[in-house]
A and B are shown apart, each in its own frame.
Chain A
Amino acid sequence: MKLRTIKTLKYAFYAGAGIAQLGTAYLVFSKGDDIKSGIQLLKLSSTNTRLAFLWCIAALVAFYAPVFARYFQGLQDRLRLNDKEFVELYKDSLQSAINDLIDVREDPTKSDRVELGILQTIVSLVQYYVGTNDETRVNANLMVPLSPDDPDCSNIRFLETPRSEALKQCRWLLKIDKWALFEAEIPPDFCLPVYDPDGPFRNRILLGAPLAFIQRKTVLLNNTKRLRKHWATGVSTGVKLEMERYFRNERKVLRSFASIPVLKDAKSTPLAILNIQWRRTKIFGSSAGLVQDLLLPLLLVLAHVRSVNEAPEEE
């Protein structure tokens, strides 16, 4: 079924629902007694019985039409990614990313600019999928792994106590390298601890980017107000409270996010973590897999761009 047909059906059902709801109410209001007697009489030859049937049909349409309208809405969301114009633009964006990668290989100084361009493409794709506008902007950042003693990481947040012991257990620190879009409200700069996955703090790995870094898998947080099921078993109450406070403070720009590892191959340490955030819940909507599949080729190009300048740290 074409996207336009689905859209037409959706609006037809919404219109049908409205007309049927008003019709049901009007029939009850103006011919209530006739409908009642028609039901009691139950003879098809009677006008009142026909009126009662008409009322029943109107009531059924009033009840089910919104259900169908929402079904077509869901279908439209899924098929949005099949739109011809979008597919053409998507192909163009992949071609651009590959050409940009070739440029970076010839001139590595362009890597920052290209990484930023790819980040913006990723944001645009997610934005297209979730159908946002200026008020509900999607943003993304790229977090890079640094060594725990890196001087660039003076502000480490969500560290277990005692801090000196927690720092000893840190294998990497994740620091934001760049944002796709500059916004006045972007969260402040800080580093996140990633504990040694084989060490005693392995059950204290933080949700989001650190977990995605260790597991080499996408971590999806659909609602930053509901963190309970996402905590690792060993995370202390202090860290939990600190993080909950952070998400509470940033709720205007960050209500849901996805942390995706940027991998050159499935077994290597991630070169970076891509965090995509939105100021509403459910960043990837109801079909998270679809969006992730769409982003995969761009993530791969991003990994190759990153690896031009950066020798990956081996585990």
Chain B
Amino acid sequence: MAASVLDHAPAAHAPAKTGVWSWITTVDHKRIGILYGATAFVFFLLGGLEALIMRVQLMKPDNTLVSAETFNSLFTMHGTTMIFLGVMPLSAMFFNYFIPLQIGARDVAFPRLNAFSYWVFLLGGLFINASFLINAAPNAGWFGYANLTENTYSPGLNTDFWVLGLQILGIASMAAAINFFVTIVNLRAPGMKMLRMPMFVWMSFITQTLLLLAFPVITVALVFLMMDRHFGTHFFIPAGGGDPVLWQHLFWIFGHPEVYILILPSFGIVSEVLPVFSRKPLFGYTAMVFSGAFIAFLGFGVWSHHMFSTGMGPFADSFFALSTMLIAVPTGVKIFNWLGTLWGGSLQLRTPLYFAIGMVAQFIVGGLSGVMHAVPPADLQQTDTYFVVAHFHYVLFGGAIFGLTAGAYYWFPKMSGRMLNETLGKLHFWMMFLGFNITFFPMHFLGLNGMPRRVYTYPAGLNSEFWNRVETYGALLLGASFLVFLWNLWATLRKPANAPADPWRGATLEWLIPSPPQEFNFGEVPPVNSSTPAWDLRRARGGPLPEPGHVSGAGIHLPRPSYWPAVTAIGVLGVIGSILLTHAVPHSYAITLTGTAILFYGVYRWAFEPAF
């Protein structure tokens, strides 16, 4: 047995394996992945509930189910939750669980930093939702345009919760981005050159780079807004010389790369699922890598297409129109390569493939409406209407969520050792597919027929009732589809964990180890000579590989569990969250000081604690 590069001298130690404390101190990427997934799924359902309430309110004109203020909080929190507490951490579940496995590593580069990211995410999500408890939920839209968000027009704590919550969540994202960036660069198994990495790892790598470069910009914007609100500056206040349009520029310089952060992981998942279920390699691997990188690069040059109605002038409008149209080209390349993967294959029509194909089909629709938005004069009739609401739901739900769901069905056996029920899976798909399209396709019509977005109601005379009602029924069907999924989850988790290591005939390294994997992942990493190492082994053997047994982990070092990441996370919450109280609670600086002390102490103990 060739010694694995990951072996060290003598054995590992035996920390707690079960119980709440083991979860709080865990630094195991697989457990952290599950924590992310479970937490994110709960937030996702919360965001879905917020959407359903809005849809019921909009069923009839002049409806009074919820007040205007409540509705405004609902759409603000729905957007913020789905993006920052839903899609991003659901992607993080897969980053955490599968990046190390797919590159043949034992864990991520910085396991405690990984745990820290999760705890900060959890605390940030709880913080921003705690606003509901004091009736101060953010209510100025998920992109919080100045000068509405200034103190004069948003005097309560709502916007403060939003600003500080996003700052806290930003720290979680940044820490994770550094971690995965280094992991992918540095911890690949021997033989796994960059251009042999699985597509999910590639897309995740590009996503981490985007995170690193985009989040600082929104951090700065949020700092400026907070300074305006409470510390006397005028960054976005015209009376003091400031310009509200600066907020839009800073926000969207972050915001546009953010949407690629949201979709690229799902692109990666689809690029994993389609080849496996077509029984042939991904068509155009190199083109897929470079188109992904090109999209990310170009993604920094299109931000003002969110601002076509602001009157930037013809040169700016033209530039951003052209750059936005340009970005459609590499996106199209990806779609065609997916088609090329399916074409000529032997399609195994199982649930993961259904969701992956659904993703592609729906992303095409979202991409086409995106091209329509790229034409500024036409966009002037579409922006801020239900047409753009349709567009981004097609790409974010029809695209990202469907992709993530495909990943969930694909990788569930590996994570849990159990196979999800196929019939329920297909039922989930059809209900979700129909529900999604019934809800969101008519929004194109509503938008073109004059219904603006972010309206808590509409008058009877504009003839918007029919489609609004249809959409609400669609949304209810869509919500019900998740009940099917939950039922499937519950029923499956009660079964014994006896799923095979490779139920799908997968191509990548994670399918070569037991389901679920042992804590150290690989006893010894197999050779990697292509982007499909598992298929190579299978081909060399001339048939299916034997079921991998459990191997002894003697001689393998694992990182020690630690609670300092959690403590430090509490410190972060204390410092940033307490700024909220500055004007509401006297002597709240005491909380800031305590938070700072906890933060410093946590970092200090973490730094001096041995890693292993």
- Determine if chain A interacts with chain B: no
Q: Which residues of B contact A (CB under 8 A)?
A: none
Q: Which residues of A contact B (CB under 8 A)?
A: none
